[in-house]
A and B are shown apart, each in its own frame.
Chain A
Amino acid sequence: MVIKAITGFFARLFGGIFKEKRNVKLGFYGPPNAGKTSLANRICKDFAGEELGKVTRIPHETREVQVKEKVEINHKGRKLTLKIVDTPGIATKIDYEDFMRFGLNEKEAKKRAKEATKGVIDAIKWLNDVDAVVVVLDATQNPYSQVNITIIGNLVARKLPVLIAANKTDLRKADVKRVEAAFPEYDVIGLSAKFGKNVDDFYENLFNLLK
């Protein structure tokens, strides 16, 4: 009884000191082409010195879950170690002909479509293995898509902490207020992962989410 009380005291004492240097598996989820990899790259570049994945304008560029271990984030004296899990975009339809409009030939487009469908399934499976999620949405697009609602509903059902990044605020069509109106129960941070606009606010909110 006494030993238990003493160990509990030390656990609380040192747990308090080191509580902000936890290992958190942070998933990046969202529809295709929202900028999940761009944001994950931004974090990896800022704190680990190297990017995580390739970014192109063709949808479903990320077709496999990409993981970066032990990314140590320092922000205003607070520390956090992240395992960054960048997932393929979740979609309900994939048409190889859409890829051909970006210059891919039929064979390449079909291969990409096949990999993309597998990527969606893998991304959903990874939901069981993350501690918190950043939902990355394209702020120039209608936020009321069922994919967005399904992703966020799933995270709520799993009781995972959620932060919404309304990306691409460098574009004139971006409307962060519309994203906020669509998901009033969540913190929404408008940012541009490509140009690093407002990422400080994003880190601040990330620490608040994971505290």
Chain B
Amino acid sequence: MKKTLTLQFVPYAEIINLNSVERIRKLLKVVLANEIVLLQGKLKIDEETRLIEDTMALVGNLRGFKGVELAVLSPKATKDPFEKIKRGLVKALVGEQDSITIIGPASIVREIKRDPNKIQLLLEKK
């Protein structure tokens, strides 16, 4: 039997008009379908925390669900004031699209190794 690993790309445009609850629900829906989310952009910090809370509330209540592995890759912080202003303006205009967020079900993704400039997905042996 063939094993398939599905990566679901979620463009930022799909979450920009959603409120926090709807965003988390949308992402968790993909994860609960045993797919890995590749989100263009990143969640707000309070949404990330809420995602952890909601995930913990589901562990033990949904058969086989162990939680998620999560990683965000963002551009390096800059000390250049002009670059900071430029990034701030872009963020205000189009949102945080310069990051990438990966969320995978812990039953599939054993670990996401996150070094500053790369992400490695270590998968569970099944």
Chain A residues in the interface with B (C-beta under 8 A): 90-95, 110, 113-114, 117-118, 120-121, 124, 127, 142, 144-147, 149-150, 153-154, 156-157
Mask: chain B, 21-56; 1 = CB below 8 Å from A; 0 = not: 000000000000000000000000110110011011
Task: Say yes or no for B100: interface residue by CB 8 A criterion.
Answer: no
Count of chain A to chain B residue pairs whose CB atoms are closer than 8 Å in the complex: 72
Task: Say yes or no for B71: interface residue by CB 8 A criterion.
Answer: yes
A92 touches B60 (CB 8 A): no
Tell me the bound Cα distance from A14 to B71 in angstroms.
49
Most buried by A among B55, B59, B106, B114: B59
Of the candidates A94, A124, A144, which one forms a contact with B53 in the assembled complex, judged by CB atoms under 8 Å apart? A124
Given contacts A92-B55, A120-B52, A124-B53, contact A149 B69 (CB under 8 A): no
B57 touches A149 (CB 8 A): no
Task: Say yes or no for B121: interface residue by CB 8 A criterion.
Answer: no
Chain B residues in the interface with A (C-beta under 8 A): 45-46, 48-49, 52-53, 55-57, 59-60, 66-72, 106, 112-116
B56 touches A120 (CB 8 A): yes
Contact sample, A vs B, 11 pairs, CB 8 Å cutoff? A93-B55, A93-B66, A93-B69, A94-B67, A95-B67, A142-B114, A142-B115, A144-B115, A146-B48, A146-B71, A150-B49
Tell me the bound Cα distance from A60 to B60 in angstroms.
15
Given A93-B68, A113-B60, A149-B72: 15 more A-B contacts, CB < 8 Å? A91-B67, A92-B68, A92-B69, A94-B67, A95-B67, A117-B60, A118-B56, A120-B56, A142-B114, A146-B70, A146-B71, A146-B114, A150-B48, A154-B45, A157-B46
A150 touches B52 (CB 8 A): yes
Chain A to chain B: the 6 pairs with minimum beta-carbon distance, closest first: A93-B67, A93-B106, A153-B45, A117-B56, A95-B66, A120-B56
Closest to A125 in B: B53
B59 touches A113 (CB 8 A): yes
A94 touches B49 (CB 8 A): no
Given contacts A113-B59, A154-B46, A157-B46, contact A92 B72 (CB under 8 A): no
